[in-house]
Chain A
Amino acid sequence: MCTAITVENLSKKYIIAHQLRERHPALRDAITNNAKRVFRRLRHPLGGFDTDDPQHEKFWALKDINFDIKKGDRIGVIGRNGAGKSTLLKILSRITEPSSGRIDISGRIASLLEVGTGFHPELTGRENIFLNGAVLGMKRVEIKRKFDEIVAFAQTDKFLDTPVKRYSSGMQVRLAFAIAAHLEPEILLIDEVLAVGDLGFQKKCLGKMNEVTRHGRTVFFVSHNIGMVRILCNKSILLTSGKITQYDDTQDVVETYLSVHKTEMGSNGEICWSKETPGPGCDDIRLLSIRLLNNAGTAASVFTKDEIINIEIAYEVYRKLSGVRVHVTLTTEDGIVAFTSTNHGKGTEELMPGKFRSRATIPHDFLNVKTYYVKVYFDVPGIRALVPEDEYLFFKCDPGTPKGQFVSPSQAGVIAPELGWSNESIT
């Protein structure tokens, strides 16, 4: 197979200005700084020129990256915040320039760093479809051809001639994603665009992306969401502090990542955040801790099949919120969803600022003998996401005390509930 993308010795350096308080340099500063520099240069004609500026510090977002991507590969890029994932994506999509190195790309490339880029609030839905399509690199005939499909996908046909500023944010996102989903490049670069909209629509997007990626297209997908990477990508790159630490089959890379991740999130069934390391969320709400408690009320990461598991999510609300819903999803190690449970109608309809704790209980004799990942997600359904969906904890369900001699420890299926079997004679 031929390669779609070759990256050689790629580095990206950012200069962090320390003393400049203004984000945008004023001409005055530039003039005085230049004057200073000229002056310094005059005084020390042989000294270094720009390197030892005490106001500036170099930061390597990416350092000596090398990799090849074959045509038709679906590559996931995972790593912690600040590992350089987004920088890599920005360089590949030519939004920003590398500091050194070289990239060869063969094939029509399109990138999706944010849905709805270029949407103009004053324009109608119809007009925005054309505008956004053009911004993403679609031709007018192409947009015309797919117009109906886009509208149907976004379910906004009734509001086509309404200015987008009158749309709910959920509708805007749906329309924006629908346009993006109908791009047909040979290489598609995607950032975590799916962390928007309500869960239902996210599912739909995921389905669409899955369909898109099956058509032999090269996909480069940057995400925090391990489950999504597992489903969408056959190979993955693990980035750590601007360097590639692993590039292999997704399964292996995810394992490495999780093993590192696991030690960080505390393997004892508990993850806590503090002021110094604020939990996931937004300005309105943030997670404080997630804990898996056994019957005795202690956090654990190993449970037996006949034990109940209490999931306890503590969070802090900073601004009055209404209609909040908490979702807990259990997935298996292969990324298959075991089930999702929400707290619909259970006390988070109106939240005033303060700290809260939501609890849910997984009944005994319900799960299979497996390792499960716990995903947590907060949203206002159909309106917006509050806490992005992510895998925060994992635990293992052990066979425990066997109830019969011939019961195999693990059944087929993602769960193995005890269904209250009985047997009676019907004569």
Chain B
Amino acid sequence: MSSHKLIIEAGKTSKRYFRDVWEFRELFYFLAWRDILVRYKQTLIGISWSVIRPLLTMIVFTIVFGRLARLPSDGIPYPILVFSAALPWQFFASSLAECSNSVIANANMVSKVYFPRIIIPASAVIVSFVDFLISAVILAAMMFWYSFIPDWKILLLPVFIVIAFGASIGTGLFLSALNVRFRDFRYIVPFIVQFGLYISPVGFSSNIIPERWRLLYSLNPMVGVIDGFRWALLGGNIDIYWQGFGLSMVLVFFLFFAGIWYFRKTENAFADII
């Protein structure tokens, strides 16, 4: 009678895993909704925090890199140059931070109810994406302020957003699964985020990297993501270093699938070791 057939076998991951993910799709929404609701409860200025944080980063970087260090900006207003990179970077950084803690923060649920665990870190990424959207509105306002008009390439922005998603989820899944097993990652992640900000071209254009190091530099997958964002947003003045971009994309692709694979491999034991 019933269409629901379930087979649990030792050492085998359920074949209907992704159908389960689909069946629990509302949980994505609810978990993300919960985190957004809870995030700014009992704060004085509430949701304004998600505007203030990227704005402050942008101001500091503009002053340090644009005014003090006088780095070249290819004729683009420096705040816009910074912000167009801070957008994907913040998304990536907060995804990592939220994701890596997400499974542990929901330990109670993990040890008491079943649902595809991948929903937890994935919904953490969605929460970061909401912040991303808010920041995107700020960027639009800034472009308006500087009378900066992007060209047709902005239509390709969604492609780069998808890439940013891939990089965030892939890395986030890795870290969240590792964090369940080794709490060391609680300390490692802030370092990754902190260093990553300086080794990624957020405060400066990646064109200032000497030509012979650029391929090596592109081993940081966020280099490709950020260059892509700038290329799509900032119009004709920006050239993209395609070899490096290709390398970054291959890495993002690898991270994404490896992250899913690793998470799936370890998640069945989460309840026993969390």
A interface list, Cβ under 8 A from B: 2, 11, 14, 24-28, 30, 90-109, 111, 113-114, 117-118, 120, 122-123, 127, 130-131, 134-137, 139-140, 163, 186
Contact = CB atoms under 8 A, between A and B. Distances in A.
A105 B8 contact: yes
A96 B117 CA distance: 12
A163 B34 CA distance: 13
Interface in B9-60: 9-11, 14, 23-24, 26-27, 29-31, 33-34, 37-38, 41-42
B181 A102 contact: no
A134 B109 contact: no
Contact of A95 (B27, B37, B114): B114
Contacts of A117: 108-109, 112-113
Contact of B268 (A11, A28, A30, A96): A96
A131 B109 contact: no
Contacts of B34: 120, 123, 127, 131
B272 A136 contact: no
A99 B271 CA distance: 14
Contact of B184 (A26, A91, A134): A26
A118 B109 contact: yes
Contacts of B70: none
Contacts of A122: 37-38, 41-42
A104 B14 CA distance: 12
Contact of B182 (A24, A102, A135, A163): A24
Contacts of B41: 122, 163
Enumerate the 4 nearest inter-chain pairs by beta-carbon distance, A residue then B residue, closest first.
A94-B114, A97-B268, A27-B184, A103-B8
B233 to A, nearest CB: 36
Interface string B90-113: 000000000000000010111111
B4 interface: yes
A135 B38 CA distance: 17
A127 B5 contact: no
Contact of A107 (B2, B111, B112): B2
Contact of B111 (A28, A95, A109, A130): A95
Given A106-B2, A130-B30, A114 B112 contact: yes
A134 B113 CA distance: 11
Contacts of B109: 117-118, 135
Nearest to B273: A24
A107 B2 CA distance: 6
Interface-centre pick from B4, B38, B41, B112 (highest chain A CB count, 10 A) = B112
B6 A106 contact: yes
B257 interface: no
Contact of A123 (B37, B110, B114, B181): B37
Given A93-B114, A94-B114, A114-B112, 10 more contacts: A11-B10, A24-B182, A27-B182, A95-B113, A101-B9, A104-B7, A113-B112, A122-B38, A123-B38, A163-B41
B269 interface: yes
A142 to B, nearest CB: 10
A308 B215 CA distance: 93
Nearest to A104: B7
7 contacts: A24-B273, A26-B183, A27-B182, A92-B8, A105-B4, A106-B5, A137-B115
B7 A102 contact: yes
A130 B27 CA distance: 10
Contacts of A98: 8-10
A24 B29 CA distance: 31
B109 to A, nearest CB: 5
Contact of B6 (A30, A96, A109, A113): A109
Nearest to B39: A122
A377 B38 CA distance: 38
A184 to B, nearest CB: 13
Contacts of A136: 113
A94 B8 contact: yes
B271 A103 contact: no
